[in-house]
Amino acid sequence: MYLGIDIGGTTTKMGLADSSGTFYSENSFNTTSYSNVNQFLSALEGEIIRMVSLMGNQLQGIGVGAPSLNYHTGIIENAANLGWKGQLNIKGHLETFMNCPVMVTNDANLPAIGEMIYGGAQVMRDFVTVSLGTGLGCGIVSNGKLVGGHHGMAGELGHINVKPNGRQCGCGRKGCLETYVSATGLKRTAFKLMADYNGGQSELEEYSFEELNAEIITEAALRKDKVAVEAFQYTGRILGMKLADLLLITDPEAIFLVGGMARAGDLLFEPTLKSLTESRLDSYESNVEILPSKLPLDKVSLLGACGLIAHGDKPNKNSKHITILDRKPY
């Protein structure tokens, strides 16, 4: 058994699976309930012990993804989307606590690992996953290898600038992409549109800022709510423009959109593809696809975490060309 842990800005998900990606036990808890890192670790340890003991202590290793997790050092470093700041050596802590191998990576890389081992990218050597959740993450696979970067922080697409002096981001900067393109960004856009229309234009007006979420906006958009539909169009337009820039840097065969917002389907995919088509170079006219995940959206990151420890540094059985590299720099 392999334990996958996906530490997200809102929810921490955990799953025990075998190397084929079959889950035997899953659980989750609210990350935001713990403003103190020691409290979070205590909750995490308790869930690990409970899950592993239920499966007869067959644990072979742990794979972990978290925001701002440097895979070279194993340290979560001042993550913008976590309630507690500072540094946490999650790799060292779990290795000591469970006395087993632990492999770690930035949480945005988990969907890329999941897709390359179990999903729609099994025969691809160059692709990108864009995760749309509380924030925006990006996993890059080039020539069959996960791109980590010198500091283990490659792929921070969510923090490229969209608008100078724009929306305040949790990282401390203003105008980051994820403040416009994420579940949180979608909500901010909806409230901005409601303010512009000065009321009376949307069923979303009955919700407070704390109550409104991406799922509610999606359901309203499916009912043709004016503000909800425009919020998705605005979000897709910005995302498509930035994906056009990403094409110039990574030249992928495909871009997978994953995460909770991807459940919106055509509400998000259509304006994104339209904007990408209008913004990209003519040479990319027909050789890149914007794809949904072929994995269950609620499991793609967990599959990536389990695949990281089950197959890390080993060729993927489904393709001779794909290898996950998780080595310290020379």
99 and 173 fall within a common domain: no
Question: Is the domain of 53 the same as that of 71?
Answer: yes
Q: Quick check: 171 pLDDT over 80?
A: yes
- The parent domain of residue 82 ranges over 2-113+297-311
Same domain assignment for residues 11 and 97: yes
In this structure, the answer to whether residues 178 and 258 fall within a common structural domain is yes
Note whether residue 330 is domain-resident: no
User: Residue 322: pLDDT band by 50, 70, 90 thresholds?
Assistant: very low
Same domain, 15 and 79: yes
- Enumerate the β-bridge partners of residue 105: 65
In residues, how long is the chain? 330
Cβ atoms of 117 and 311 closer than 8 Å: yes
Domain-located, residue 241: yes
Question: Is 104 among the domain residues?
Answer: yes
- Nearest 5°: phi and psi at 279? -100, -20
Q: What is the pLDDT of residue 326?
A: 41
Task: Indicate whether 324 belongs to any domain.
Answer: no
Mean per-residue pLDDT, 205-219: 95
Percent of the chain scoring above 90 in pLDDT: 67
- 225 belongs to a structural domain: yes
151 and 259, same structural domain? yes
Do 139 and 36 fall into the same domain?
no
CATH number for the domain spanning 253: value is 3.30.420.40
Task: Please tell me the pTM assigned to this model.
Answer: 0.88
Is 61 contained in some domain?
Answer: yes
Q: How many other CB atoms sit within 10 Å of the CB of residue 325?
A: 12
Residue 323 forms part of a structural domain: no
How much of the chain, in percent, has pLDDT values that exceed 70? 93
Nearest in space to 305 (alpha carbons), one of 121, 153, 107, 68 = 107
Token reading at 171: 């990282």
Contact between 235 and 186 under an 8 Å Cβ cutoff? The reply is: yes
- Judge whether 321 lies within some domain: no
SS3 percent helix, strand, coil of the chain, rounded to 5, is 40, 20, 40
pLDDT value at position 285? 59
| pLDDT of amino acid 84 | 78
State pLDDT tens for residues 41-72.
Answer: 999 999 999 999 887 778 999 999 998 888 88
| DSSP sequence for 70-103 | ETTTTEEES-TTSSS-SEEEHHHHHHHHH-S-EE
Asked whether residue 261 falls in the same domain as residue 305, the answer is no
Which two tokens mark 182? 């994420």
Q: Are 276 and 302 within one domain?
A: no
How much is the pLDDT for 9?
Answer: 80
Higher pLDDT, 188 or 145: 188
Query: What pLDDT is attached to residue 160?
Result: 95
Average pLDDT for the chain: 89
Number of folded domains in the chain?
Answer: 2
Are 132 and 183 contained in the same domain?
Answer: yes
Looking at residue 11, its amino acid is T
